[in-house]
Amino acid sequence: MNIRTMLNPLEITALIAVIISLIAIVLYPYSFNKSLVVDVSEPYPQELVTDSYSGGSSIITRINSPDSYKWRCIIRSGQDFPYCSFKLDLINPQSGMGLDLSSYDKITIDYHIDGNAEDTIRLFLRTHEDELTEREDKLSYKFNKLEFKPSRYGSPVTFRMSDFNVAHWWVLERDLPIESSRLDFSEVMFIEVLTGTHSSLGKKEFEIRHITFTGKVISKENFYLIVITILLFSLFLVIGYRLFLLKSAYKHAQSERDLLKDIANHDQLSRLLNRHALDKLFAQVEIDWNIHHINYSLIVADIDHFKSINDNYGHAMGDKVIKNIADILRTYSREQDYIGRWGGEEFVILLPSTSPEAATACAEKLRIYIEAYNWPQDMKITASFGVSSVKEKRTLQEVFAEADRALYHSKANGRNKVTRADKL
């Protein structure tokens, strides 16, 4: 006996899915990688900035280089924190949006610096967040800061994106809540490379060959969520399919019986009880009355001038009117009431444990909803009603006949009315 005779095709598919998922787990650290390189091959706008706007006297100049970003900075005394800065503008000129780096988890900087070995470098990823910053105010962009000592790490150097932190002074300066300190790289507007917080004075030269962001096409969380989902689904298939085979025959037979029962008991146009089902219901009502003395009321309704609707708008419109009337009766009747289509444009509602007064109020409510309905082509559709109740020893056929007489009294007296049989 081989595996193909023990497993059905669906179970073999589930087994293959499990094997592929396990292989994917092993290969994930080495695959599904993506990268974004920022270098001179892309014409990102550049800006050189110094502390001069705040009274400082530091100087920065660009050094021409065909394959890297290169600049010279002379840090001079004159303020507490002198600095110079190189800024790359990542804003798309067409959309005005920055780069979405939220799916990248590492940043690699290939650089060279001539200067004091004890100096640090600051790297800012300036981001826009709708609730915290103003898109038109570039000074408001969030400062996500990373500061490191080049002599310790060498070049190229790789950091995790989570190594960044939001500059504390930026949060305090804007009087923002603590949750504003969370990292969000979904829209990075600028990359900014600055001299360190406590930079030494004098000349320094900087060169950035490229900045590379790396990540996964599928995040680790989503990847393992997909794998777990596949494994659980495969397990469900193996177990569930066996149960399905046992139950499928029974469900099919039950479905056939339900379908036949539905066809036998419901009018196919209105989806209300049909005359056959109502006849059976009337027989049960008589038993309830004779044995348990349960009161019933009966409403008979008829669409006014229905023939003219068919003549003037066509039978398709007539069918639509019947469907809409059925929907109104179903929507605004009580849950315990039985609603049926007696035939043509005539409807019957059987109301258990209901007095003649309550049944009349129900009929009046339905009459109003039908008249107020937004009918197509500005049609004016109304219905007439007759109401009767089971009392004494009468049969339901007698009650129906009495409700029918009340209906025709409504028709004869102008239509769009409710008539109660015992008031005639």
Per-residue CA distances from 274 to 28, 108, 301, 364, 388 (Å): 62, 75, 15, 23, 20
* 219-240 pLDDT tens trace: 888 888 988 888 888 888 778 8
Higher-confidence residue: 248 or 334? Answer: 334
Please say if the pLDDT value at position 245 is more than 60: yes
pLDDT at 264 over 80: no
Pairwise CA distance, residues 58 & 196, whole Å: 14
Alpha-carbon torsion angle 102, 108, 114, 115, nearest 10? 60
251 has a pLDDT exceeding 80? no
Q: Name 35's Cβ contacts closer than 8 Å, sequence gap at least 6.
A: 212, 213, 214, 215
Beta bridge partners of 144: 125, 166
How high is the pLDDT of residue 277?
86
**pLDDT at residue number 313:** 92
Q: Say if residue 1's pLDDT is above 50.
A: no
pLDDT band at 6 (very low <50, low <70, confident <90, very high): low
Distance, in Å, from the CA atom of 372 to the CA atom of 381, rounded to the nearest integer, reads 9
**Cα 28 to Cα 224: distance, rounded to the nearest angstrom:** 10
At residue 4, the pLDDT reads 45
DSSP 3-state helix, strand, coil percentages of the chain (rounded to 5)?
40, 25, 30
Higher pLDDT, 350 or 292: 350
What pLDDT is stored for residue 315 in this prediction?
93
pLDDT digits (tens, 9 = 90+) for 102-151: 999 999 999 999 988 889 999 999 999 888 888 888 888 999 999 999 99
Global pTM reads 0.53
Share of the chain above pLDDT 90, in %: 55
Written as one letter, the residue type at 121 is I
Spatial distance between the Cα atoms of 23 and 17, rounded to a whole number of angstroms: 10
* pLDDT tens, residue by residue, 11-27: 788 888 888 888 888 88
What pLDDT is recorded for position 2?
A: 44
pLDDT tens, residue by residue, 38-62: 999 888 999 999 988 788 899 999 9
The tally of CA atoms less than 13 A away on the side-chain side of residue 75 is 22
Of 17-31, 96-110, 150-164, 256-270, least confident by mean pLDDT is 256-270
Tens of pLDDT, residues 373-405:
999 998 999 999 999 987 765 677 888 999 999
Chain-centroid distance of CA 390 in Å reads 52
**Strand-pair category, 202-216 with 165-166:** unpaired
Q: What is the mean pLDDT of the chain?
A: 88
Q: If you average pLDDT over residues 268-281, what whole number do you get?
A: 88
Q: Taking 70 as the threshold, does the pLDDT of residue 84 lie above it?
A: yes
Confidence band, pLDDT 50/70/90 cuts, at residue 3: very low
User: What DSSP element (H or E) covers 422?
Assistant: none
Mention every residue, 6+ apart, whose C-beta is less than 8 A from residue 321: 303, 306, 309, 375, 379, 381
pLDDT at position 259 over 70: no
pLDDT at 292 over 80: no
Q: What integer pLDDT is reported at residue 30 of this predicted model? A: 83
Which SS3 state, helix, strand or coil, does residue 3 take? helix
Each residue's pLDDT tens digit, 186-197: 999 999 999 998
Task: Characterize the bridge pairing of strands 121-127 and 142-148.
Answer: antiparallel
Query: What 8-state DSSP symbol labels residue 166?
Result: E
- Other CB atoms within a 10 A radius of the CB of residue 225 amount to 12
